[in-house]
Amino acid sequence: MRWRFKIALATVPVVLLAGLVVGFAYKPAQALDESEKSVVVEQIVAYLKGTDVDMREDKLKAVIHTVRDQSKQHDLDYRLALAVIKVESNFNRDVVSRKGARGLFQIKPSLAKYIAKDAGVTWNGNQCLHEPDNNIKLGIYHLSKLVEDFKNLPTALHAYNAGASKIKARQTAKGASKSVFTKRVLKEYRNNIAVLPEMDESD
């Protein structure tokens, strides 16, 4: 069992565990070929379109491919990454928050500059956060590090939203699980697990 699922099994509510079991049922016995991968991407596109995601289909497919590739690289469940994007921006690449967070994963420029090199992104100013590939690389890198650091999914999600230093200083896992952002992401994650296939190890 991959480490990301160890985290989920240890920290996510029981109702999510049922979804994990459903997710495992989709795992193929052999590596997916390109046609099978395309079918999976089409399945994800259809599901997201059904949740009122307003993005052109070709662009959404490109986003899904990048999310899956980066999630595999950082040993993160792509369904969790999609849940964070859904809650943060609803797949709107141009959105800017009141606090200046930008793009799909709602990354702040100050954080982006700090982690850009490690995330494999060339920092060219705030506008690069509106380029989906860059934003996804930064978001998944940052999220995976928080999950690894906190060893607790609700707390990691709360740290993603509120800032890691603040959470380390004052937040408990119990408190994190009650945050609005954490609840919304976990709900989306449960929905994703119930519908979308786990990514094959060789995908």
Q: Looking at residues 154-182, what average pLDDT do you find?
A: 75
For residue 164, name the pLDDT band (cuts at 50, 70, 90): confident
User: Picking from 15-29, 139-153, 155-169, which range would have the lowest pLDDT averaged per residue?
Assistant: 15-29
Question: pLDDT tens digits for 111-138?
Answer: 999 999 999 999 999 999 999 999 999 9
Global pTM exceeds 0.85: no
The CA–CA distances, whole Å, from 114 to 118, 122, 123, 131 equal: 9, 11, 9, 18
> Quick one: CA dihedral 147, 149, 150, 151, positive or negative?
positive
Question: What 3-state DSSP class applies to 107?
Answer: strand
User: Which among 76, 74, 85 has a CA at the least distance from the CA of 6?
Assistant: 76
pLDDT at 170: 58
More confident residue, 32 or 128: 128
pLDDT at 166: 63
Question: pLDDT tens digits for 135-159?
Answer: 999 999 999 999 999 888 999 999 9
Written as one letter, the residue type at 41 is V
At the topology level of CATH, where does 3-195 sit?
A: Lysozyme (1.10.530)
Tally of residues, the chain: 203
DSSP code string of 154-187: HHHHHHHHH-HHHHHHH--HHHHTTSHHHHHHHH
Written as one letter, the residue type at 27 is K
Query: What is the rounded end-to-end Cα distance, in angstroms, of the chain?
Result: 16
What is the residue extent of each domain of the chain? 3-195
Check whether 186 has a pLDDT greater than 60: yes
